Amino acid sequence: MRVPSIPIRVSTFVALILILHGSDGLFKYKNIKCKCYEKSYCEFKKCELKVLGRGIVGLNMHVQAKQLPITSVKAILTTFRQFSGYRPFLYNVTVDICGFLKNPKRFPFFSMVHDAIRNFSNFNHSCPYNDDIIIDRMVLNDEMISRMPVPNGFYKLLVAVATEGIWRGEVEAYVEVNLGYDR
């Protein structure tokens, strides 16, 4: 009786993990809410989820900045998990956006969020910002959640933004995580 070699076992294990990871995986938008606190400073021209195809939902957002250039930006990212209402869960990070864009490795959680947004938006260069912020058809995929240690459930990501030291607005993104198995 021949015992299988180690490489076969490892490759089988890796294939099984990839199959499990890809099967029944679900990371999708449920709702989005956008709010500018000061209408003389900014306005959300668009803040919507749109069905792009069967089971594919994309985020479209257009924030018009009315006082340019924007040279100082701070954001607070907080995650909430639904437990009889949404309760704070795991992350509450304050980030100097201009500093982050110069050195992204300083803020690993925000770096994951920015990596997800970067390919769908014009939010991809350092300060100052002289244009509106646009996110076009941003689709969530399972790879975006694979690096974050979160169990299945419903989540809210709250992003509050301040410029020049004054809180200007917030975005609440509601998502569902269902990896097909319990973490």
CATH code of 154's domain: 2.70.220.10
As a dihedral over the C-alpha atoms of residue 149, residue 154, residue 156, residue 157, rounded to 10 degrees, the angle is 30
* Domain-located, residue 14: no
Beta strands 56-65 and 42-53 are: antiparallel
Residues spanned by the domain of 148: 25-177
157 beta partners: 79, 173
Q: Is residue 13 part of a domain?
A: no
Higher pLDDT, residue 22 or 1: 1
Examine residue 3 and state whether it is found in any structural domain, yes or no.
no
Residue 113 counted as domain residue: yes
Output DSSP code: residue 3: P
Domain count along the chain: 1
Global pTM value:
0.79
User: pLDDT tens, 147-160?
Assistant: 677 788 999 999 99
pLDDT, one tens digit per residue, over 21-58 is 333 447 889 999 999 999 999 999 999 999 998 888 99
Q: What is the pLDDT of residue 182?
A: 55
